[in-house]
Amino acid sequence: MANQVANYTEDSIRSLDWKEHIRLRPGMYIGKLGDGSAQDDGIYVLVKEVIDNSIDEHMMGFGKTIDVKVSELKVEVRDYGRGIPLGKVVDCVSKINTGGKYDSGAFQKSVGLNGVGTKAVNALSTYFKVTSYRDGMHKVAEFERGVITSDADASSSSGRNGTQIVFRPDETIFKNYHFIPQYLDDLIWNYCFLNAGLTINFNGEKYHSEKGLHDLLSRKTDEDNLRYPIIQLVGEDIEIALSHSNQYGEDYYSFVNGQYTTQGGTHQAAFREAVVKTVREFYNKNFDATDVRASIVGAIAVRVQEPVFESQTKTKLGSQNVAPDGPTMRTFVNDFVKKALDDYLHKHSNVADALLKRIMQSERERKEIAGIKKLANDRAKKANLHNKKLRDCRVHLNDDKKDEELRNASTLFITEGDSASGSITKSRDVQSQAVFSLRGKPLNCYGQTKKVVYENEEFNLLQHALNIEDGLEGLRYDKIVIATDADVDGMHIRLLLLTYFLQFFPDLVRRGHVYILETPLFRVRNKKETIYCYSDEERQKAIAKLGTKPEITRFKGLGEISPGEFKGFIGQDMRLEPIILRQDTSIQELLKFYMGKNTPDRQLFIIDNLKIEKDLAEEAA
């Protein structure tokens, strides 16, 4: 230690240029990295940063069309706005704190205001090309990991005004990355919903919305499952849409200046509060807030000047005011909702009646389970003290000193059986990975009411471990990973757990928190090398690569994999399969197919999966 102190000299101080700092600390600029299996992984943030600039041009009245192409590893975005001023093209993509958004006259209510986004994309890409078309001229510059490789002089061009960005994320930073089409599809649709009249051509398909947030809720929900038609209210710099469904939970979509704030913020909190207050005043009854908001599906979009976000990735709004000298966000949203929603309910008595019935139903259900809920909560508290079903991670062990960044990256593995739980527990990162051990197969809760969650010990303890009894605001883990054996019994447990989540906490799945852990089916090795294979195709390639007659092991269960080996499967290169619901998927129809009464289609599905399992086992033998 003394030598280290003595060696602290001027040479110990290091200055990094902009690209070095971004590459050394990418999380500061784009959040978590990931491989593309999560909707907020870094590669999607890169796409968003580029499209955001094109959206800002559209918002200022320049360009009604944006072309987006995403191949396996490359992204192209072309807008038809004003185009970057030709003399500033290089600076705008490679000099921190440079951009047009510092000029409030040019960008009144922009998404990005700090001049970092496109520079981060540049620095984190193995290839980055910017082309600006402006007034019959165009300028092209190319970069590699932020280092300029080509800087051609401006020349004449017949291209329409606008900007084109082409980039390829750096594979050394985003390891084994892949774009999931459904995530990109959601991203593009959200831009269209928030900018009615905008057309985005994405990989040859046309995306366009005329009804804004009404279209968003129509796409995100099963309209046949709504208790009344979607209410859409539009004001100056604010738009809301809402309805109530027959499902449990609350589901919100919130946006600021066109940015999807997945973690909500001051505007979403004000919206939730304003709906309760307005409903209470309209019916002149002091309803419990949870009864008013139970089963709500809502969306809010606001435009504010100089928004303040709680991170560079802009997933949570922190602004207390809608403008530097304007009203508070709470007052702004509440005043709009109070007048607009109250007027709507007075004019549409059928909707007011349906809303009241939904609230009264929620009130009855809450009172019916009140006694059971108290007993269940007492049991859960006692169980947490005396059993080891939940092996928590350190970030949660002291609730007074939570690390926000770690908490947002924390994972809960749900396993079945002592052997599997033991392997994961010994292999996990105790700082951010927790393990919840099931005892046997969970109950099939299809068609049950929420009463069963409190009566069933496994479900009740799992609910408390996740802290989702009162909504997702208290969710303790970013990723909920179902870790079961790669066999038919394991598949059945997965379906039972997914039924539980979809039946009672569907927003957990819709918000992209639920995953399936992929573990290797085979280990192929010789004296020099070991290859883990996740499919039969990978096994065949491994055999061909190693040659001769390698030793082949078929893993039949998680408990067979030693903790030393398991560490590699739940570490930095962990393979996760996200549970993604297509937007046209009806949860009730999905549950009916998999967990309802036997049908010929489901029987064929099970037989096909049994056949796959049997064939793999026979080939490995």
pLDDT at 599: 60
Which stretch of DSSP H or E encloses residue 76? strand 75-79
Strands 433-438, 390-391: parallel, antiparallel or unpaired by DSSP? antiparallel
Residue 188 amino acid letter: I
| Pairing between β-strand 75-79 and β-strand 155-156 as defined by DSSP bridges | unpaired
**Tell me, what's the pLDDT at 490?**
81
CA dihedral for 36, 40, 45, 48, sign (positive or negative): positive
The pLDDT of residue 509 is 87
Encode pLDDT of 121-173 as tens digits. 999 999 999 999 999 999 999 999 999 999 989 899 988 999 999 999 999 99
Where helices occur in 476-552 by DSSP H, the ranges are 488-504, 506-510, 536-546
pLDDT in the model for residue 614: 47
The Cα 267–Cα 270 span in angstroms is 5
Closest CA to 420 of 505, 487, 496: 487
Q: How many whole angstroms separate alpha carbon 590 and alpha carbon 420?
A: 29
Instruction: Report the pLDDT averaged over residues 474-495.
Output: 85
Contact yes or no for 518/538 (Cβ under 8 A): no
Structure-model confidence comparison of residues 503 and 346, the more confident one: 346
Residue 189 has pLDDT above 90, yes or no: yes
Phi, psi of 255 (to 5 degrees): -140, 145
Closest CA to 317 of 332, 325, 306: 306
Position 523 pLDDT exceeds 70: yes
* 226 three-class SS: strand
From residue 105, alpha-carbon distances to 89, 247, 305, 323 in Å are 20, 45, 11, 14
Structure tokens at 575: 């393979």
For helices 266-283 and 349-368, give the axis angle rounded to 10 degrees. 100
Predicted pLDDT of residue 602 = 60
Domains in the chain: ranges and CATH: 18-208 (3.30.565.10), 213-356 (3.30.230.10), 370-519+555-620 (3.40.50.670)
Distance CA 128, CA 122 (A): 6
Closest CA to 444 of 488, 512, 493, 407: 493
Virtual torsion, Cα 85, 90, 92, 96, nearest 10 deg: -150
Q: Are 190 and 203 in contact (CB under 8 A)?
A: no
Q: Are strands 251-256 and 259-260 parallel, antiparallel or unpaired?
A: antiparallel
Average pLDDT over residues 457-470: 87
**pLDDT at residue 408 above 70?**
no
Q: How many CB atoms lie within 10 A of CB 340?
A: 19
Q: Do 550 and 542 form a contact (C-beta atoms < 8 A)?
A: yes
Beta strands at 125-134 and 137-144: parallel, antiparallel or unpaired: antiparallel
Task: Please give the pLDDT value at position 616.
Answer: 45
Asked if pLDDT for residue 402 goes beyond 50, the answer is: no
Residues 39-50 have a mean pLDDT of 90
Helix or strand run (H / E) with residue 382: helix 370-386
Lowest mean pLDDT among 104-118, 223-237, 315-329, 349-363: 104-118
Cα atoms in the Cβ-side hemisphere of radius 13 Å centred on 102: 8
CB–CB of 73/36 below 8 Å? no
Average pLDDT over residues 494-516: 88
Mind giving me the DSSP string for 119-173?
Answer: HHHHHTEEEEEEEEEETTEEEEEEEETTEEEEEPPPEE--SPSEEEEEEEE-TTT
Helix (H, G, I), strand (E, B), or coil: what is residue 464? helix
Q: What is the pLDDT of residue 79?
A: 96
Task: Calculate the dihedral angle through the C-alpha atoms of 168, 170, 175, 178, rounding to the nearest 10 degrees.
Answer: -10
Q: What is the pLDDT of residue 9?
A: 65
Answer yes or no: are the C-beta atoms of 235 and 340 closer than 8 Å. Answer: yes
CB contact set of 340 (below 8 Å; sequence gap of 6+): 233, 235, 240
pLDDT band at residue 619, thresholds of 50, 70 and 90?
very low
Max Cα separation, the chain?
81
> In degrees rounded to 5, what are phi and psi of residue 152?
-80, 150
Instruction: Give the contacts of 589 (CB within 8 A, at least 6 positions apart).
Output: none
Best CA proximity match to 456, nearest among 330, 369, 341, 581: 369
Cα separation of 178 and 174, whole Å? 9
Residue 559 is predicted with a pLDDT of 75
The answer on pLDDT for 537 being more than 80 is: yes
Q: Are 161 and 135 in contact (CB under 8 A)?
A: yes
pLDDT, tens only, 68-127: 999 888 999 999 999 999 998 998 898 875 554 444 444 445 555 444 688 999 999 999
